[in-house]
């Protein structure tokens, strides 16, 4: 605390990201990064972009990247917004579409979801209300069909990994539209849903004009270190996001990020293969944890949310600490309802085998 802080800064409760350890030896399964490298075409594009042109500002409209995204998802470039990671896109979306001030209706999101949502609300002074998940951590979409300031959902939800059907999402959007409110669908993990599930709202963004889908290249495109994210919605919503960005920083994406992200978007084939492997590993590790007696929440993401068997007498916190001591870093949230769960990012098969073996040893030791 400092006397020089204004009241806005004093009242912030900033987000605390997962640990980025300096020890390289740890098996890192704590921040949902992709264990496989980015496409070779991304590295090539980055090398090509690292040239004398770095003295010039990047394209503020991010045209090439937006065109690549539009081509891949079958929308118009004016329906695409890009930014410095989806965290930034989400922060802008809160600022653009939800009302600030205590006189406004609260924005709704689940009590267990991405813990950045209340932080963005706090930053912009947006009132919000959390809606409890059901006991099995599912979302009852009827709870969101109430008069509100708008809704944000993560689909699949984080950290549970449970996904909602497009029909359910469309029902909430339809209700909100009658009240001229927006639904933001954070699809950070959607590329890890079982193929054929068709869970993304993007194909319906022309009919659902009050829906904004937000994606990241950090997870399924193996580019957490590059910082690139995007939103797809109606052209009017995208213009709203641009108005916020251009009142803040016109160049949120640098030349390297623009080139690398565009190359990743164009190499869909490479990432389909990589992410198929992650889905297969997720299914295998989920079964193995269940066989050890863990309660495993059915995940459509690149992580598993699971709690140790009650008979082992080990708490989530204790298991987290025991795993860390053995060199495996997972994520534990010290929060009501989920304190006995761990969120385990899906890594390479060999690393997951080490994780499973250590889990087995810890549980048997008890
Ligand atoms: N949404 C969700 C649900 C996430 O878990 C994350 C990653 N922490 C993000 C958005 C942000 O991802 P990034 O800023 O790396 O694009």
Which residue among 16, 114, 252 is best mutated to probe the pocket of ligand 1, counting the most ligand atoms within 8 A of its Cβ? 114
* Residue labelled with tokens 């590790």: 285
Q: Is 125 helix (H, G, I), strand (E, B) or coil?
A: coil
Burial label for 26, CB within 10 Å (0-12, 13-18, 19+), is: middle
**Percent of the chain predicted with pLDDT > 70:** 100
Closest CA to 119 of 191, 17, 31, 32: 17
86 CB under 6 A from ligand 1? yes
Q: Is the pLDDT of residue 356 over 80?
A: yes
Per-residue confidence (pLDDT) for residue 334, from 0 to 100: 92
**CATH topology identical between 17-37+269-365 and 40-266:** no
User: What is the average pLDDT across 201-224?
Assistant: 97
Bridge-based pairing state of the strands 295-296 and 303-307: antiparallel
229 CB under 6 A from ligand 1? yes
* CATH number of this structure's domain 40-266, picked from the four choices 3.60.15.10, 3.40.50.150, 3.40.640.10, 3.40.50.300: 3.40.640.10
85 CB under 6 A from ligand 1? yes
**Percent of the chain predicted with pLDDT > 90:** 95
187 CB under 6 A from ligand 1? no
305 CB under 6 A from ligand 1? no
Q: Please name every residue paired with 81 in a beta bridge, in sequence order, or none if there are none.
A: 231
112 CB under 6 A from ligand 1? no
159 CB under 6 A from ligand 1? no
Can you tell me the distance from the alpha carbon of 319 to that of 339, in angstroms, rounded to the nearest whole number?
11
User: What is the average pLDDT across 191-216?
Assistant: 93
DSSP one-letter string for 181-231? --EEEE-TTGGGSPTT----SGGGTTT-TTEEEEEESSSTTS-TTT--EEE
Q: Does domain 17-37+269-365 have CATH number 3.90.1150.10?
A: yes
pLDDT, tens digit, 9 for 90 and up, residues 71-103: 999 999 999 999 999 999 999 999 999 999 999
Per-residue confidence (pLDDT) for residue 198, from 0 to 100: 87
Q: Is the pLDDT of residue 127 over 90?
A: yes
Residue pair 112/159 in contact (Cβ under 8 Å)? The answer is yes
- For residue 352, give both structure tokens: 């997951």
126 CB under 6 A from ligand 1? no
Q: Is the pLDDT of residue 366 over 80?
A: no
Per-residue confidence (pLDDT) for residue 74, from 0 to 100: 97
Which residue lies with its CA nearest to atom 1 of ligand 1? 188
Which residue among 154, 158, 161 is best mutated to probe the pocket of ligand 1, counting the most ligand atoms within 8 A of its Cβ? 158
Q: How far is the CA of 349 from the centre of ligand 1 (A)?
A: 23
- Confidence band for 55, pLDDT divided at 50, 70 and 90: very high
216 CB under 6 A from ligand 1? yes
The length of the chain is 366
pTM equals 0.97
33 CB under 6 A from ligand 1? no
* Residue labelled with tokens 């950045």: 116
pLDDT, tens digit, 9 for 90 and up, residues 245-262: 999 999 999 999 999 999
- For residue 67, give both structure tokens: 């065109």
Q: Which residue has the higher pLDDT, 366 or 281?
A: 281
Per-residue confidence (pLDDT) for residue 247, from 0 to 100: 98
Domain range summary for the chain, segments of one domain joined by +: 17-37+269-365, 40-266
- For residue 137, give both structure tokens: 């951590």
Can you tell me the distance from the alpha carbon of 219 to that of 32, in angstroms, rounded to the nearest whole number?
7
pLDDT, tens digit, 9 for 90 and up, residues 133-175: 999 999 999 999 999 999 999 999 999 999 999 999 999 999 9
Q: How far is the CA of 4 from the centre of ligand 1 (A)?
A: 31
Q: How far is the CA of 159 from the centre of ligand 1 (A)?
A: 11
What is the overall mean pLDDT for the chain? 96
Per-residue confidence (pLDDT) for residue 25, from 0 to 100: 87
- Nearest ligand 1 atom, CA 216: 16
Q: How far is the CA of 176 from the centre of ligand 1 (A)?
A: 24
Can you tell me the distance from the alpha carbon of 218 to that of 309, in angstroms, rounded to the nearest whole number?
32
Sheet containing 295-296: which strands, arranged edge to edge?
295-296, 303-307, 342-345, 331-332
Residues 6+ apart with CB under 8 A from 23: none
- Nearest ligand 1 atom, CA 114: 3
- Confidence band for 194, pLDDT divided at 50, 70 and 90: confident
pLDDT, tens digit, 9 for 90 and up, residues 222-237: 999 999 999 999 999 9
How far is Cα of residue 7 from the mean position of the Cα atoms in its chain?
30
Residues 6+ apart with CB under 8 A from 129: 106, 107, 108, 148
Per-residue confidence (pLDDT) for residue 24, from 0 to 100: 77
Q: How far is the CA of 55 from the centre of ligand 1 (A)?
A: 30
Q: How far is the CA of 360 from the centre of ligand 1 (A)?
A: 30
Q: Is the pLDDT of residue 244 over 90?
A: yes
Residues 6+ apart with CB under 8 A from 184: 90, 93, 97, 150, 151, 152, 153, 211, 212, 214
Residue pair 83/251 in contact (Cβ under 8 Å)? The answer is no
User: What is the average pLDDT across 19-40?
Assistant: 93
Per-residue confidence (pLDDT) for residue 364, from 0 to 100: 86
Q: How far is the CA of 87 from the centre of ligand 1 (A)?
A: 6
């Amino acid at each position: 605390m400092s006397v020089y802080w204004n009241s806005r800064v004093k009242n912030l409760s900033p987000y605390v990201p997962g640990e980025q350890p300096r020890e390289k030896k740890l098996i890192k399964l704590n921040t949902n990064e992709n264990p496989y490298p980015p496409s070779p075409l991304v590295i090539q594009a980055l090398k090509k972009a690292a040239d004398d042109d770095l003295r010039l500002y990047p394209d503020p409209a991010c045209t090439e990247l937006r065109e690549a995204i539009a081509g891949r998802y079958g929308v118009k470039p004016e329906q695409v917004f890009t930014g410095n990671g989806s965290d930034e896109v989400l922060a802008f979306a809160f600022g653009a579409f939800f009302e600030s001030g205590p006189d406004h209706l609260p924005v709704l999101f689940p009590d267990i979801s991405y813990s950045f949502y209340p932080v963005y609300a706090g930053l912009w002074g947006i009132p919000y209300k959390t809606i409890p998940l059901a006991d099995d951590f599912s979302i009852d979409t009827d709870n969101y069909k109430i008069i509100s300031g708008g809704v944000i959902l993560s689909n699949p939800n984080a950290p549970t990994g449970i996904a909602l059907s497009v029909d359910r999402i469309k029902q909430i959007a339809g209700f909100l539209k009658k009240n001229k409110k927006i639904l933001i669908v954070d699809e950070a993990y959607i590329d890890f849903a079982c193929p054929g599930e068709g869970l993304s709202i993007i194909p319906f963004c022309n009919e659902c004009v009050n829906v904004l889908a937000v994606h990241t290249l950090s997870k399924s495109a193996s580019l957490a270190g590059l910082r690139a994210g995007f939103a797809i919605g109606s052209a009017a919503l995208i213009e709203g996001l641009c108005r916020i960005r251009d009142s803040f920083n016109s160049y949120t994406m640098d030349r390297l990020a623009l080139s690398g992200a565009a190359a990743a978007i164009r190499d869909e084939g490479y990432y389909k293969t990589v992410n198929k492997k992650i889905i297969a590993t997720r299914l295998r590790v989920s079964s193995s944890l269940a066989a050890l007696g863990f309660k495993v929440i059915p995940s459509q993401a690149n992580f598993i949310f699971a709690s140790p068997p009650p008979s082992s007498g080990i708490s989530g916190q204790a298991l987290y600490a025991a795993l860390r001591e053995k060199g495996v870093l997972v994520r534990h949230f010290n929060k009501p309802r989920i304190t006995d769960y761990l969120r385990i990012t899906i890594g390479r098969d060999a690393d997951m085998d080490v994780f499973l073996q250590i889990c087995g040893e810890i549980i048997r030791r008890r």
